[in-house]
Structure 1
Amino acid sequence: MTPNSEHSSEPLDPQFQRDLEKSGIPQEKWHRFSQHGLGTLIPKMGIFFEELTAEYTVATMPVAENTQPGGLLHGGASAALLETLGSFAANEATPEGYVAVGTELNISHVRSATSGLVRGTCIALKIGRRQCVHRIDITDEHGKLISTGRMTNSIIPRR
């Protein structure tokens, strides 16, 4: 994958474009990922964004292929979904030339999931100039809480 610079008018690398489409990233937001890419974890885990704003972000993830040996949704997969939502939401709030980087993540697992999709819902608790804090709940297809947590991001100059 060879993402283009943020301000480039050149077309995106076809594989990069497919990854963005497969992950549900709205086309009007692709420029935010063109400089540094989407990463490899999101496509591998099947994370799909339904909504993406600084204040409210929603994504789904299949339980299948993200399980621990006992067949339950892996706690690390839930944590990865939580961190992805919090980081993406925080980066929606950053001005040009800055990036949000995770500084704290906490998660509590309250129920297991064995099949279907889980949905992460991320709500901003604080959006500031130097820090963003989001609460993220992960629920199953019946709306039952699987995991809950909080993500703190610091806003720093992009290198």
Structure 2
Amino acid sequence: MPLWKSPFTLSEIHQLTEKTLCRLLDIEITEIGEDYLVATMPVDARHHQPMGILHGGASVVLAESVGSIASAMANRPGYYSVGLDVNANHIRAVHSGVVTAKATPVHIGRTTHVWNIAISNEQGKPVCESRLTMSVLKGDN
């Protein structure tokens, strides 16, 4: 059974994120796989904490963004998802460049989705491991 029940194209996702925090931080969905979604985010002064490294909150925004979009695509028509819980383990500092986040499903249920989001640096080394739980609701959103 295919994971994506309400799929979007990359162009549609770009339009959906037009006036959101994703655009402010230059988060871009770059790949839609059969059972995963990939996003990138640059790391520059806008994404730094005072010590000049990637702010943990920016990593969480990236993780929640890619996981939320993935959850929306995994929903049956007529349903939407909202964040229920997000956690993150920050593993490695990043000063500059681009980080990549890959969201993969852990659980796709009727009322909840759980996503693992692995964020890595340009060398493919882990930067942050996040887990996102989404509540699935019926409605028109």
Q: 1:26 aligns with which of 10, 20, 30?
A: 10
2:40 is the alignment partner of 1:56 = no
Which consecutive residues of structure 2, in runs of 5 or more, have no partner in the other structure? Answer: 1-8
The normalised TM-score by structure 1 is: 0.75
Q: Which residue of 1 aligns with 2:24?
A: 44
C-alpha contact 2:14 2:28 (8 A) present in aligned 1? no
Q: Which residue of 1 aligns with 2:89?
A: 108
| Percent identity of paired positions between Structure 1 and Structure 2 | 37
Q: Equivalents in 2 of 1:104, 1:54: separation in Å?
A: 25
Query: What is the deviation of 1:56?
Result: 0.2
Root-mean-square deviation (Å)? 1.9
Which is bigger in relative contact order (C-alpha 8 A, separation at least 6)? 2
Q: Which has the larger radius of gyration?
A: 1
Q: What one-letter code is carried by the residue in structure 1 that aligns with 2:111?
A: R
C-alpha contact 2:14 2:29 (8 A) present in aligned 1? no
Q: Equivalents in 1 of 2:49, 2:70: separation in Å?
A: 27
C-alpha contact 2:114 2:133 (8 A) present in aligned 1? yes
Which consecutive residues of structure 1, in runs of 5 or more, have no partner in the other structure? Answer: 1-24
Q: Secondary structure, in 3 states, of the residue corresponding to 2:127?
A: strand
Q: Equivalents in 2 of 1:52, 1:153: separation in Å?
A: 19
Q: Which residue of 1 aligns with 2:5?
A: none
Per-residue CA deviation, residues 65-111 of structure 1 (Å, 9 max, x unaligned), is 21112110011000000101111111101122210111010101011
Q: Which residue of 1 aligns with 2:52?
A: 71
Q: Equivalents in 2 of 1:151, 1:55: separation in Å?
A: 16
- In 2 relative to 1, CA 126–62 (structure 1 residues): closer, same or farther, beyond 3 Å? same
